[in-house]
Chains A and B, each alone.
Chain A
């Protein structure tokens, strides 16, 4: 066998090993969601003996899954749309519109991107409480939007840079205003990149714990991720139930990923993120 072939075989085996470590935890979750606690104690590796939905039923009765899912949707969807839209507008101005203040504002944003969330959360938390908005979703939506704008702008800036100026100039010559150029030229051309940024933002916000725990900590407004975080505390002795909860909790983001994978990966590989 030629050395190239050997190498390809080795690579394939290595990839398979990595693949196993990636996928096995998910399979573990899924299998154990249908087992009982006693069965798990005997052997964590075992297969479920019956396809029982007991864990699911117990979980739904005791943990507010659906309501926290709803709360997450209420907060995350607007935040993603707004953050992506505003970032796109800002990135467009920074790259294609000849304007002076762009650079200063951009560097300010970059510095903020590196900011630990806690630095802003302490005063925001108190101000929001003082305004009586502690059980309102709007502050959380706006905070999530604001926090994701610097990163989104940074990414979209390099994406829009990739759009040739010639196209913009041509549109200008045709008499199009900036807004039209943005909506009809830049957005469609950078569509893959914008979608990718949108999905990244979605993942960032949906999976985030700190802000959601601090800003929406009452049981009437709790989001999905904090609900999941409490599972291992509440059911510390019943691993299969925890696995069931984690499995259910994984579904939203996995679903989004599966549906958008092709566009998303293409967007990521297009060189925007570097």
Chain B
């Protein structure tokens, strides 16, 4: 009798103990700080003293023309998301064909994703320096000596290029994994019905992987708003001027370099709201097509 009670006691406690470490860490190191950030965004905190100043931080943020530009920059970098999705799908489809050496290609294409954005960023910025790799390559065409990193749009293009190069490998694997759930018989049937390769792609493949595409889209949009820090830090330091400064980079400068933590907290809160809204919009707008078995 006691043995059975002991056993029951043990397995009633287990779920709570098992979840405890994860829950404790997440609550203490993430949920509580979020609360504190929200609180501090209404103060003039400098790391030591803090007084409530209401909406003053937010008012100053919206009055600052540079900040508008910074949010616009992050939005501009969203261009990378459809590019990443397209590259991932194209490469996945190519690999799926299983031509000679497809396993090697699959292995190689993930390598950029393994490298740190810092390394990728430094590499790409080196390529685009005056009299660098790209410059010498373009000189026969007469486009040399163009200061890529000195003009806002081309500087952004370099960042986007680095971003796509890093991300397409992961996207490829996700799409391949989704494609593996597609019954090849579907393709055969469509081929017998006379559908061309292109038609098969759009009518069968894309709908079946829509779930993965939505996942990749959400992940990459979030990444654009929250993780371009490394690229910007290394490639352009936010420049030229503020042209490639993203919201998280600007918040870093304001908070950690300038010590205006209340102001930085307000920026962080705004950033979080933007990401939340974008995520909800994407999930509502691009519904996953749940197929049986997936």
Residues of chain A at the chain B interface (Cβ within 8 Å): 7-8, 11-12, 14-15, 18-19, 21-23, 25-26, 28-29, 41, 43-45, 82, 85-87, 89-90, 92-93, 97, 99, 105, 108-109, 111-112, 114-127, 129, 142-143, 145-147, 149-150, 153, 175, 177-179, 182, 203, 206-210, 214, 225, 228-229, 231-232, 239, 242-243, 246, 249-250, 253-254, 256-257, 261, 265, 268-274
Q: Which residue of B lies closest to A151 (CB)?
A: B219
Question: What is the CB-to-nearest-CB distance from B28 to chain A, in angstroms, rounded to a whole number?
Answer: 8
Partner pick for A149 among B22, B251, B276, B294, CB 8 A cutoff: B22
CB-based contact A45/B22 at 8 Å: no
CB-based contact A86/B21 at 8 Å: yes
Chain B facing A: main interface SS: helix
Partner pick for B110 among A87, A126, A242, A265, CB 8 A cutoff: A265
Quick one: which of B177-229 are within 8 Å of A by CB?
177-178, 180-181, 197, 211-212, 215, 218, 222, 225-227, 229
Residues of chain B at the chain A interface (Cβ within 8 Å): 7, 10-11, 14-15, 18-19, 21-23, 25-26, 28-31, 33-34, 36-37, 40, 47, 91, 94-95, 97, 99-102, 105-119, 122-123, 125-127, 129, 131-133, 136, 165, 169, 173-174, 176-178, 180-181, 197, 211-212, 215, 218, 222, 225-227, 229-230, 233-234, 248, 251-252, 255-256, 261, 264-265, 268-269, 271-272, 275-276, 279, 294
With A114-B279, A265-B110 already in contact, the answer to whether A253 and B268 are too (CB < 8 A) is no
Bound-state Cα–Cα, A88 to B144, Å: 53
In the bound complex, residues from chain A placing their C-beta under 8 Å from that of B113 are: 203
CB-based contact B229/A209 at 8 Å: yes
Bound-state Cα–Cα, A122 to B43, Å: 13
A-B contacts, 15 listed (Cβ < 8 Å)? A11-B97, A41-B131, A43-B136, A44-B136, A89-B19, A109-B26, A112-B30, A116-B271, A119-B271, A147-B29, A179-B14, A210-B230, A232-B122, A257-B114, A268-B173
CB-based contact B117/A209 at 8 Å: yes
With A93-B18, A149-B25 already in contact, the answer to whether A228 and B271 are too (CB < 8 A) is no
In the bound complex, residues from chain A placing their C-beta under 8 Å from that of B229 are: 209-210
With A12-B100, A112-B26, A203-B114 already in contact, the answer to whether A119 and B37 are too (CB < 8 A) is yes
With A93-B18, A178-B11 already in contact, the answer to whether A257 and B123 are too (CB < 8 A) is no
Question: What is the CB-to-nearest-CB distance from A199 to chain B, in angstroms, rounded to a whole number?
Answer: 9
Chain A facing B: main interface SS: helix
In the bound complex, residues from chain A placing their C-beta under 8 Å from that of B7 are: 175, 177
CB-based contact A265/B107 at 8 Å: yes
The 6 closest A-B pairs by CB, nearest first: A207-B116, A116-B226, A146-B29, A90-B22, A123-B36, A178-B14
Question: What is the CB-to-nearest-CB distance from A155 to chain B, in angstroms, rounded to a whole number?
Answer: 11
CB-based contact A118/B251 at 8 Å: yes
Partner pick for B119 among A117, A129, A228, A257, CB 8 A cutoff: A228
CB-based contact A242/B18 at 8 Å: no
CB-based contact A210/B252 at 8 Å: yes
CB-based contact A122/B40 at 8 Å: yes
In the bound complex, residues from chain A placing their C-beta under 8 Å from that of B15 are: 93, 97, 99, 178
In the bound complex, residues from chain A placing their C-beta under 8 Å from that of B181 are: 271
Bound-state Cα–Cα, A266 to B14, Å: 31
In the bound complex, residues from chain B placing their C-beta under 8 Å from that of A231 are: 122
Q: Which residue of A lies closest to B39 (CB)?
A: A123
In the bound complex, residues from chain B placing their C-beta under 8 Å from that of A117 are: 226-227, 248
With A120-B29, A273-B177 already in contact, the answer to whether A11 and B94 are too (CB < 8 A) is yes
Question: What is the CB-to-nearest-CB distance from B57 to chain A, in angstroms, rounded to a whole number?
Answer: 13
Question: What is the CB-to-nearest-CB distance from B200 to chain A, in angstroms, rounded to a whole number?
Answer: 12
CB-based contact A12/B99 at 8 Å: yes
With A112-B31, A231-B122 already in contact, the answer to whether A21 and B116 are too (CB < 8 A) is no
Bound-state Cα–Cα, A126 to B264, Å: 13
Question: What is the CB-to-nearest-CB distance from B219 to chain A, in angstroms, rounded to a whole number?
Answer: 9
Bound-state Cα–Cα, A46 to B74, Å: 37
With A12-B100, A108-B31, A209-B117 already in contact, the answer to whether A146 and B25 are too (CB < 8 A) is yes
Q: Which residue of B lies closest to A29 (CB)?
A: B123
In the bound complex, residues from chain B placing their C-beta under 8 Å from that of A250 are: 115-116, 119
Bound-state Cα–Cα, A21 to B132, Å: 17
CB-based contact A15/B26 at 8 Å: no
Partner pick for A253 among B26, B100, B115, CB 8 A cutoff: B115
In the bound complex, residues from chain B placing their C-beta under 8 Å from that of A41 are: 131
Bound-state Cα–Cα, A274 to B16, Å: 28
CB-based contact A119/B126 at 8 Å: no
CB-based contact B29/A89 at 8 Å: no
Q: Which residue of A lies closest to B25 (CB)?
A: A146
Question: What is the CB-to-nearest-CB distance from B46 to chain A, in angstroms, rounded to a whole number?
Answer: 10
Q: Which residue of A lies closest to B265 (CB)?
A: A122
Bound-state Cα–Cα, A225 to B123, Å: 14
Further 10 A-B residue pairs, CB within 8 A, beyond A114-B279, A253-B115, A274-B178? A7-B97, A25-B127, A93-B18, A116-B268, A177-B10, A179-B14, A207-B115, A207-B230, A228-B116, A265-B110
> Which of A175, A178, A272 has most chain B Cβ within 10 Å?
A178
